[in-house]
Amino acid sequence: MALNLPTGLHFKTAAEILGVSERRIRILIDEGRLVREKTNITIKSLALFLALKDEAPRGYEADKARKMAADADLAEIEAAKAAGKLVLASGVRAAWESAIEVAMAKLLAVAPAVAPLVILERSPKGAADVIAKAIRAAMTETAEVEVLPLAKKSGESQPEDEEHTKEQPEEEGEE
């Protein structure tokens, strides 16, 4: 025996449950917060509205509070930038790319540097030791290279950026 339960409630009943007018029910439908089927409000949309009603308050005061919170978040971000605790993602990406380029250059230089030494080795273990030693040296050199943070790529100059620009050519000459 199948139960024939209603899937919706009349506007007046829905308004009484929510404690609002039928006009407000129509506004909620227009806003897409309630779903209408013929002359009824779906029970599912009414239950969802009730569940989310307290989570996302609406109106001037709620909007004002959200704006104040967003402004405070932006101010916090700007303060972190000014204090040097926050850098642009593009700067971090550029620093990583620079570090990877240095590592690649040092590791690719290992093969030509150790080839003559490997040929002189009489055993595979000796050749492997020469190669491993050279790779470790290249990795140590890579770890010692200071990757300068690029805080801004947007063209705004900071005193630190100018120093970094001056230091970078010296590092390239060392390689």
Q: Closest by alpha carbon to 142, among 90, 99, 92? A: 99
Q: Closest by alpha carbon to 66, among 77, 52, 55, 51? A: 55
Q: Is the pTM of the predicted complex or chain greater than 0.75? A: no
Domain range list for the chain:
8-53, 59-86, 87-174
pLDDT tens for the chain, 175 residues long, are 556 667 788 889 888 888 888 888 888 888 888 898 887 888 888 888 887 776 655 678 778 888 888 999 899 988 888 888 887 788 888 888 888 998 999 999 999 999 999 999 999 999 999 999 999 999 998 888 777 654 444 344 444 443 343 334 444 444 3
β-pairing, 40-42 vs 8-10, is: antiparallel
